[in-house]
């Protein structure tokens, strides 16, 4: 029986996620309903994606008995409210990253998931790409020996987009871009908490971070460094250095389709989209959708690949980076 998806928000990321669903077998995944704050937006989205039901409020989607899991694709300052709405309605949830604005909000979401006994996963799509799977396998096999250093970068000029600039929209490069580098470090070091973290960078006049360099020190003299920016294009790659070699992820490290292990490159092509996409390699969201299905079939309430503790570590480190750089959101003051 197909996993029946409800789509919360009719924006750009929801479009790409719905297109990605269509690259999976129809007998496994179906988008059955979409909700937006304006009914006409939901109706337009439903026509474009051939979805049978369109709602002008999230509450109506939460009440729909035919929805197994809700994909939350609205902007992150609204994630807390949306997650609580759907989980209190006993809906399983895949929530776009970042899961929430700070540790306090994430803990509230995780508590609600446990209380309502529903599945919840933060949609860190990178973790589910075949390249990421292969990286985890190679590390487990100690293909490059002991990992000593990780370096990654994510920089794109996005200052023309209010969502990256305005504080009330959850602006700032960390939560939209830098978190991909950070989650990569956390994945490679298997969810270990760093011994120290140092962040230095520059902020925009709006009070959000623009370009930041972060250095992390782990036990046994292991290091990681990453740079992220919303004002400039960086090489956008990642490298893991071990005692016996290197693993490189070329450009677009957050949606990777190739991997270089000790100089040997392997390609992992994505399926073609049926509609134009808003984001590079958007059909790669198919992998996180399939992870959700597999977890639901097994009766799991969280994914072992992107667990609740993974989300909690990620937001705690993000809060510390923001503290050091001097970014404070209104949600931090509640």
Gap between the Cα atoms of 196 and 80, Å rounded? 29
Same domain, 145 and 97: no
Positions of E strands within the chain: 3-8, 29-35, 53-55, 69-72, 92-96, 120-123, 147-155, 196-203, 209-218, 222-229, 238-242, 245-249, 258-261, 264-267
Same domain, 83 and 204: no
Closest CA to 186 of 212, 143, 222: 222
Residue 289 placed within a domain: no
pLDDT tens digits, one per residue of 168-199: 999 999 999 999 999 999 999 999 999 999 99
Structural domain ending residue among the three candidates 97, 126, 155:
126
Gap between the Cα atoms of 117 and 144, Å rounded? 40
pLDDT tens digits, one per residue of 98-134: 999 999 999 999 999 999 999 999 999 999 999 999 9
This prediction has a pTM of 0.97
Residue 285 placed within a domain: no
Per-residue pLDDT at 230: 98
Q: What is the CATH number of the domain that holds 245?
A: 3.30.360.10
Closest CA to 110 of 90, 127, 77, 87: 87
Residue 299 placed within a domain: no
Tokens for 36, please give them: 């937006």
Strand pairing class (196-203; 147-155): unpaired
**Cβ–Cβ under 8 Å, residues 136 and 191:** no
Q: What is the CATH number of the domain that holds 87?
A: 3.40.50.720
Mean of all residue pLDDT scores within the chain: 98
Q: How confident is the model at residue 329 (pLDDT cuts 50, 70, 90)?
A: very high
Structural domain ending residue among the three candidates 126, 149, 176:
126
Decide: helix, strand or coil at residue 250: coil
**Cβ–Cβ under 8 Å, residues 49 and 34:** yes
Per-residue pLDDT at 13: 98
Query: Is it the case that residue 334 has pLDDT exceeding 90?
Result: no
Q: What is the mean pLDDT of residues 61-78?
A: 98
pLDDT tens digits, one per residue of 46-60: 999 999 999 999 999
pLDDT tens digits, one per residue of 214-251: 999 999 999 999 999 999 999 999 999 999 999 999 99
Gap between the Cα atoms of 122 and 75, Å rounded? 14
Same domain, 66 and 139: no
Same domain, 29 and 174: no
Of all residues in the chain, the percent with pLDDT exceeding 70 is 100
pLDDT tens digits, one per residue of 278-302: 999 999 999 999 999 999 999 999 9
Q: How confident is the model at residue 30 (pLDDT cuts 50, 70, 90)?
A: very high
Which residues span the domain enclosing 67?
Answer: 3-126
Residue 275 placed within a domain: no
Q: How confident is the model at residue 152 (pLDDT cuts 50, 70, 90)?
A: very high
Q: What is the mean pLDDT of residues 322-327?
A: 98
Judge if the upstream peptide bond of residue 107 is cis by omega within 30 degrees of 0.
no
Query: Is it the case that residue 31 has pLDDT exceeding 90?
Result: yes
Closest CA to 217 of 153, 150, 154: 150
Residue 325 placed within a domain: yes
Same domain, 73 and 210: no
**Cβ–Cβ under 8 Å, residues 121 and 296:** no
Same domain, 121 and 144: no
Same domain, 257 and 219: yes
Residue 279 placed within a domain: no
Gap between the Cα atoms of 30 and 21, Å rounded? 7
pLDDT tens digits, one per residue of 297-320: 999 999 999 999 999 999 999 999
Tokens for 282, please give them: 């958007």
Q: What is the mean pLDDT of residues 140-153?
A: 98
Residue 273 placed within a domain: no
Closest CA to 63 of 44, 29, 35: 35
Same domain, 190 and 225: yes
């Amino acid at each position: 029986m197909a996993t029946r998806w409800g789509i919360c928000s009719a924006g750009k990321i929801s479009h790409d996620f719905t297109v990605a669903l269509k690259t999976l077998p129809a007998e496994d995944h179906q988008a059955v309903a979409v909700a937006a704050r304006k009914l006409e937006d939901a109706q337009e989205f439903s026509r474009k994606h051939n979805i049978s039901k369109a709602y002008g409020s999230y509450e109506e989607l939460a009440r729909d008995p035919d929805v197994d899991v809700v994909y939350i694709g609205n902007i992150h300052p609204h994630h807390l409210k949306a997650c609580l709405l759907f989980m209190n309605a006993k809906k399983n949830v895949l929530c776009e990253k970042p899961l929430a604005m700070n540790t306090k909000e994430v803990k509230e979401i995780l508590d609600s998931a446990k209380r309502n006994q529903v599945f919840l996963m933060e949609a860190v799509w990178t973790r589910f790409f075949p390249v990421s799977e292969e990286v985890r396998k190679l590390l487990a096999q100690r293909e490059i020996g002991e990992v000593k250093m990780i370096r990654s970068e994510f920089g794109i000029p996005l200052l023309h987009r209010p969502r990256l600039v305005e504080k009330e929209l959850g602006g700032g490069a960390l939560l939209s871009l830098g978190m991909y580098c950070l989650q990569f470090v956390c994945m490679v070091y298997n969810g270990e908490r760093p011994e120290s973290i140092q962040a230095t960078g520059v902020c925009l006049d709006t009070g959000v971070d623009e370009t930041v360099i972060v250095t992390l020190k782990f036990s046994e003299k292991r290091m990681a460094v990453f740079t992220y920016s919303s004002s400039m294009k960086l090489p956008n790659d990642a490298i893991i250095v071990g005692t016996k070699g290197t693993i490189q992820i070329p450009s677009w490290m957050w949606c990777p389709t190739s991997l270089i292990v000790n100089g040997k490159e392997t390609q992992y092509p994505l399926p073609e989209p049926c509609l134009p996409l808003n984001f590079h390699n958007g059909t790669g969201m198919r992998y996180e959708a399939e992870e959700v299905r597999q977890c639901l079939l097994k009766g799991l309430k969280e994914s072992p690949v992107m667990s609740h503790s993974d989300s909690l570590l990620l937001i705690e480190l993000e809060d510390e980076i923001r503290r050091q750089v001097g970014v404070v959101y209104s949600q931090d003051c509640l």
